[in-house]
Structure 1
Amino acid sequence: MSHKPEKIRRYYKFIRFMLKYWNSDIFRKTSAIAMDEGYDDDDDERNEHKFEQSPQELVEDLKDMGPTYIKLGQLLSTRPDLLPDEYLDALANLQDNISPVPFEDVREIVEEELGTKISKAFNFFEEKPIASASIGQVHRAELLSGQPVAVKVQRPGIKDQFLKDLETLDEMTKMAVKHLEKAKTYALDEVFAELRHVLLNELDYKKEAQNLKTLKRNLRDYEHIIVPAPINDYSSTRVLTMEFVSGKKITSLSPLRQIESDFSELVEELVEAYLQQIINDGFAHADPHPGNIKFTAENKIALIDLGMVARFSPHLQDQLIALLLAMSKSNGEKAADVLLKMSEQNEWSDKHKFTKTVTQVIMESKDSRAKDLETGRILIQLNRLAVNTHIKLPVEINILGKILLNLDQIIAMLDPDYDLRMAIHDNVTGIMRKKMLSELKPENFFELILETKNFLEKMPGRMNRISENLANNELKIEIDAIDEKRVTDGFQKVANRITLGLIIAATIIGASMLMQVPSDFTIFGYPGLAMIFFLLAAAGGIMLTYVIIFRDENLDDNKKI
């Protein structure tokens, strides 16, 4: 645990930031767009560049907050559906223009992690980084074998800083969920848990190296998609050495090159590769924002940062296939049905409103193209709609929406008129055929044969027992629909209380009748026997009232699962 003064400083920074931006026009617009509340675009145009806080001011505030909040800013910079363009551009600089770590610190980390001097491990190691981000920075180098490599080095002390910031966010999130209804509705605690998982994974370069190997193997058949291979002997938890890929950010393509070149085949291959990752491999590059995509001189695309990946279970893959096909056909009712089947619902869930709005949203975007950035945005919008109708969708839906939203941006740069929906329909069908063929493996047949063998071996004995019980009129079928014991216990409790109530009533009536009988034994001047019965009846009535009000347990709390 952190020391108290330092903890107070972290709380102070966080609360000061929230107070500054909570009611900001920037986030008022963000909230209106996110919740589809009809923010006035005309007002936005009239007041462009007149927000209370400038884009650079937001960037500087996030930098002052520290590396964890810089990562949050980086995530915001890939969300054109939420923030004005000038703020997106400013936040994008958080991905490239972080002040580099002094080379002496880099040298110390590399030599400590690799267990040898830099001069003995590399022919040369450039002191000036080619990229600097919130978690680490990348240097160009050359192995003793002459192979050019990129070496990613983690910033000193970054893990401790992340853990402290995450501790603060965790406590503030729990407080918000406990006291604010909106925080409960949007399950901020679950959102934070996912963020924590992602950030801690990004701090372990060994996991990123494994991600690179897995993705490179899965995409080996795509000749225009490059995934740099990690160099195991030169990598550790804080140092990642990988093949060097020469290229530029895909957003830096000149307008002239975009006009002169036909990138339709490249875009087709990129879309197919991502659909392959999502619905066949179940392992996808989850953060394909333009800063993580390089465009090479040979017109190839390189995926260079795999700190963030998404995993989809086989069952979820099947559901995503159905969802993507429904969206590609603009079949809103089918899409809503698929989403409802994979969702969690409760007594407040409004399935009718959800289905109606999903259908409307998908139909309205029927003729959209890549330049409209609609495909991923629709999924994110549907996720928010689900929250508003008390329907909980799997977190993977929002991840898929983020992947497709970033993919929309890349495709819009290469081929603005590309029909992503039609491409999804065509590619999903083809990938489904591949998936079915890949599942026709000998080991799958062997598993089926073993299950069939066990079924056939046990079938004769089971049939004999059933027929014997049937012949002896001993066949019983149990239906676990009603808890009979709870029902009978409830009836018995009611009967007991009715009986006790009748006894109390009879006692009161008997006491009132004894009041008329003269007696030498008196209490408070009244016949003593009558008073005893009356006091017993009163005590019984008070006890019964207490049990009913304070001791009865709610049936729902005792429900057995």
Structure 2
Amino acid sequence: MSNTPDKIRRYYKFIRFMLKYWNSDLFRQTSSVAFEGGLSEEDKEHQFDQTPDELVEDLKAMGPTYIKLGQLLSTRPDLLPDEYLQALANLQDNVTPVPFEEIKEIIEEELGTKISKAFKVFEEKPLASASIGQVHRAELNSGKPVAVKVQRPGIVKQFMEDLETLDEMTAMAVKHLETAQTYAVDEVFAELRRILINELDYKKEAQNLKTLKKNLKQYEHLLIPAPVDDYSKTRVLTMEFVGGKKITSLSPLRQMENDFSELVEDLVEAYLQQIINDGFAHADPHPGNIKFTESNKIALIDLGMVARFTPQLQENLIELLLAISRSNGEKTAQVLLKISELNEDSQKKQFAKTVSDVIMESENSRAKDLQTGRILIQLNRLAVTTHIKLPVEINILGKILLNLDQIVAMLDPEFDLRAAIQRNVHEIMRKKMLEELKPENFFGTLIESKHFIEKMPERMNRISENLANNELKIKIDAIDEKRVTDGFQKVANRITLGLIIAAMIVGAAMLMQVPSDFTIFGYPGLAMLFFLLAAAGAIVLSYVIIFRDENLNNKN
């Protein structure tokens, strides 16, 4: 993919970054929190070797892929101190803008026309500049205000080269480091690679906007900008312009003057609907991707990262969310174990006990405590340490809820998220069941029933014929036939031997009454021979039963 000098340069850049932060107390604290959970007050006030601004600048120097990693890290308040999170959050929209001439060239190449013909107005100064692209405000020829998202020049090539380096380093780490194997860093990287590559195609984001707008059309407090198809290509995305501010910039006065409980209720219900009903969710609701409009509505403006949940997983997530919301630790552990991959090293009992403890400790927490998403992330870490592999969707769900917790806490710190989950899950389940009862959803079942009915007469005739000819056979794979027949043979042999021994003892007793010149120990010899043979057989049989029997020796 790239020549040797470029690869050496990228390896050097990566290794230099790792050497700088590997032995720093910031990295050690991050690792400790990731594996043990929680920051002590002493750690929160600790002065680290590298300042927040230094970390940001180092990531910027590493390039767009690492900037994206920093963005993902900024959404994890459970890992880093607040000042570092705030510095990394600036990576969301404070990246150096691309000169307008380069942006203009990309737009004209993608749209196949001059920018002056495509737009009535196009502002050269970007509204925001991120690692993959930047956003400009413009007006269509119809006068409709739009936001135009333009990909940075050469970004695909840079991403693919950095991903190649990370892929090779990850494979090497998994091969040689036990920690990397335990925490499946190769799978984590594979998921990151998939997310980043999808974000490089703006046509996919346009389709995501359409899907989410359709799915959430009933929520009047939520806005999803619609894409403009004729002006959206792989590297250019044009969508409706939504005014407003980042939700993190909401003033305390505005919070005091307004009751946002109804808005928060809509937001929570909308995300639960996405997860457990639609199976299609906005996977990155961090404050940088959420706008708060002047009309007190919430706008979801970035759909580059989405999560998909299968119907079976949706049902399991319903059980999981209800169990957590009811502080039912035992049920939470049962659901997680049901959907996990287990092996001989899995510590199921320890996992179940610790899960129950975690759920019980988090009871009665409110939105301002940021508990719901943190619990799922903590359970993910616990699963890793007990050699239990949870589906990657559980970690995605934890990330969604963790970010949702932050937004809910800003709007209504006393909002009871657990009660809202119970209330909304029941309502969404009711709607889901009504949806499934619609006639069009029965077509698949009707087709299967038709096939079943068509085949039934033929199958019944075949069974009746075989039964009449004494040719009906039933094969049961659940039973080891050889083991069963061997067991019966063993029982039959022992019963037979027991009967022979008993007959020999009875015969010996009867021969004791018959006088004989041949004696053993003063008793009739033939009677004593039968008795001794019976005694020897009984001893051997007893030894086999007590010491050689497979069931007794393997008794648990």
TM-score, structure 2 as length reference: 0.85
Task: Find the counterpart in structure 2 of residue 174 from structure 1.
Answer: 171
Question: How far did residue 286 of structure 1 move?
Answer: 0.3
1:364 to 336, 353, 361: 361
CA contact (8 A) 2:37 2:78 kept: no
- Partners of 2:258 and 2:277 in 1: how far apart? 31
Moved more, 461-470 or 83-92: 461-470
- Partners of 2:292 and 2:386 in 1: how far apart? 42
- Partners of 2:470 and 2:325 in 1: how far apart? 57
1:476 aligned onto 2:478: no
1:460 to 457, 462, 465: 457
Mapping of residues 65-464 of structure 1, within 5 Å: 65-464=62-461
Question: How far did residue 43 of structure 1 move?
Answer: 2.7
- Partners of 1:273 and 1:116 in 2: how far apart? 39
CA deviations over 1:173-229 (Å, ceiling 9, x no partner) = 000011111111111111111111100110000000000000011111111100000
- Partners of 2:241 and 2:37 in 1: how far apart? 46
Task: Find the counterpart in structure 1 of residue 527 from structure 2.
Answer: none
1:33 aligned onto 2:33: yes
Give 3-state SS (helix, strand or coil) of 2:79's partner. Answer: coil
Task: Find the counterpart in structure 2 of residue 491 from structure 1.
Answer: none
Task: Find the counterpart in structure 2 of residue 6 from structure 1.
Answer: 6
- Partners of 1:44 and 1:193 in 2: how far apart? 32
Give 3-state SS (helix, strand or coil) of 2:188's partner. Answer: helix
CA deviations over 1:101-140 (Å, ceiling 9, x no partner) = 0011011111111111111111110010010000000000
- Partners of 2:37 and 2:332 in 1: how far apart? 23
Question: How far did residue 400 of structure 1 move?
Answer: 0.4
- Partners of 1:463 and 1:347 in 2: how far apart? 44
Aligned CA distance change for structure 1 residues 42 and 284 (closer, same or farther; 3 Å)? closer
Question: How far did residue 466 of structure 1 move?
Answer: 2.8
CA deviations over 1:1-56 (Å, ceiling 9, x no partner) = 211011001001111111111122112222222222676x24325xx251011111
Question: How far did residue 440 of structure 1 move?
Answer: 1.3
Contiguous gaps of at least 5 residues in structure 1? 486-561
Give 3-state SS (helix, strand or coil) of 1:294's partner. Answer: strand
CA deviations over 1:289-312 (Å, ceiling 9, x no partner) = 000000000000000000000001
TM-score, structure 1 as length reference: 0.84
CA deviations over 1:148-195 (Å, ceiling 9, x no partner) = 000001000000000000000000000001111111111111111111
CA deviations over 1:67-103 (Å, ceiling 9, x no partner) = 0000000000010011000100110111121100001
Question: How far did residue 63 of structure 1 move?
Answer: 0.5
Task: Find the counterpart in structure 1 of residue 519 from structure 2.
Answer: none
CA contact (8 A) 2:324 2:332 kept: yes
Task: Find the counterpart in structure 1 of residue 53 from structure 2.
Answer: 56
Question: How far did residue 385 of structure 1 move?
Answer: 0.8
- Partners of 2:480 and 2:120 in 1: how far apart? 76
- Partners of 1:431 and 1:107 in 2: how far apart? 46
Amino acid at match of 2:276: I
Amino acid at match of 2:70: G
- Partners of 1:4 and 1:404 in 2: how far apart? 43
Question: How far did residue 384 of structure 1 move?
Answer: 1.1
Tell which structure's C-alpha radius of gyration is larger: 2
Question: How far did residue 461 of structure 1 move?
Answer: 3.0
Moved more, 447-456 or 416-425: 447-456
- Partners of 1:446 and 1:147 in 2: how far apart? 43
- Partners of 1:344 and 1:156 in 2: how far apart? 42
Task: Find the counterpart in structure 1 of residue 19 from structure 2.
Answer: 19
- Partners of 1:197 and 1:93 in 2: how far apart? 24
- Partners of 1:480 and 1:172 in 2: how far apart? 46
- Partners of 2:469 and 2:345 in 1: how far apart? 49
Give 3-state SS (helix, strand or coil) of 1:392's partner. Answer: coil
- Partners of 2:411 and 2:369 in 1: how far apart? 13
Percent identical pairs in the alignment equals: 80
Amino acid at match of 2:379: L
- Partners of 2:377 and 2:474 in 1: how far apart? 47
Amino acid at match of 1:64: A
Amino acid at match of 1:342: I
Between Structure 1 and Structure 2, how many residues are aligned? 484
Amino acid at match of 2:352: T
CA contact (8 A) 2:37 2:378 kept: no
Amino acid at match of 2:389: K
Question: How far did residue 450 of structure 1 move?
Answer: 2.5
Moved more, 474-483 or 48-57: 474-483
- Partners of 2:265 and 2:51 in 1: how far apart? 39
Amino acid at match of 2:43: D
Amino acid at match of 2:126: P
Moved more, 117-126 or 464-473: 464-473
Give 3-state SS (helix, strand or coil) of 1:452's partner. Answer: helix
